[in-house]
Amino acid sequence: MSPFEHGEVFVLDDGGEGDLDLGNYERFLDVNLTRDHNITTGKVYQSVIEKERRGDYLGKTVQVVPHVTDAIQDWIERVGAISVDGTGRRPEVCIIELGGTVGDIESAPFVEALRQFQFRVGPENMCVIHVSLVPVLGSVGEQKTKPTQHTVQTLRSLGMYPTMLACRSENMLESSVREKLALFCHVPTNQILSIHDVSNIWRVPLLLRDQGAHHVIMSTLKLAPRQPLDMRRWEARADRWDALEEEVHIAVCGKYTGLSDSYLSVIKALQHAAIATNRRLVIDWVDTSELEQPFSDVNPQQHAAVWGLVKAADGILVPGGFGGRGTEGKILVCEYARTHKKPYFGVCLGMQVAVIEFARNVCGLAQAHSQEIDKATPHPAVVFMPEGSRTHLGGTMRLGARRTLLTTVDSITAKLYQAMDSFDERHRHRYEVNPDMVPMFEEKGLRFVGKDETGVRMEVIELTGHPYYVACQFHPEFKSRPGKPSPLFLGLLLAASGQLNQYVHGYVEESRSRGGSGADVAPAGAPGSPMVSK
Catalytic residue set? 348, 475, 477
Which residues, at least 6 apart from 140, have a Cβ–Cβ distance to it below 8 Å? none
Q: What is the 3-state secondary structure (H, E, C) of 455-501?
A: CCCEEEEEECCCCCEEEECCCHHHHCECCECCHHHHHHHHHHCCCHH
DSSP 532: S
Question: How many beta carbons lie within 10 A of that of residue 230, not counting itself?
Answer: 8
Give dist(CA 153, CA 160) in Å, integer. 10
| Prior bond of 123 cis (ω within 30°) | no
Give dist(CA 260, CA 8) in Å, integer. 9
Q: How many helices (H) and strands (E) does the chain have?
A: 19, 17
Sequence-ordered strand ranges (E) for 63-156: 129-133
CA-to-CA separations, 88 to 81, 95, 468, in angstroms, rounded: 10, 18, 39
Please give the helix or strand (H or E) that residue 366 lies within, else none. Answer: none
- 26 in Cβ contact with 18 (< 8 Å): no
Helix, strand, or coil (residue 119): helix
Closest CA to 345 of 364, 320, 325: 320
Please give the helix or strand (H or E) that residue 69 lies within, else none. Answer: helix 69-80
Helix, strand, or coil (residue 275): helix
Give dist(CA 21, CA 131) in Å, integer. 15
Chain CA centroid to CA 309, Å: 25
Q: What is the dihedral of CA 5, 6, 8, 12, to 10 degrees?
A: -150
Ordered DSSP codes for 320-343: ---SSTTHHHHHHHHHHHHHTT--
Chain CA centroid to CA 482, Å: 12
Closest CA to 379 of 362, 365, 361: 365
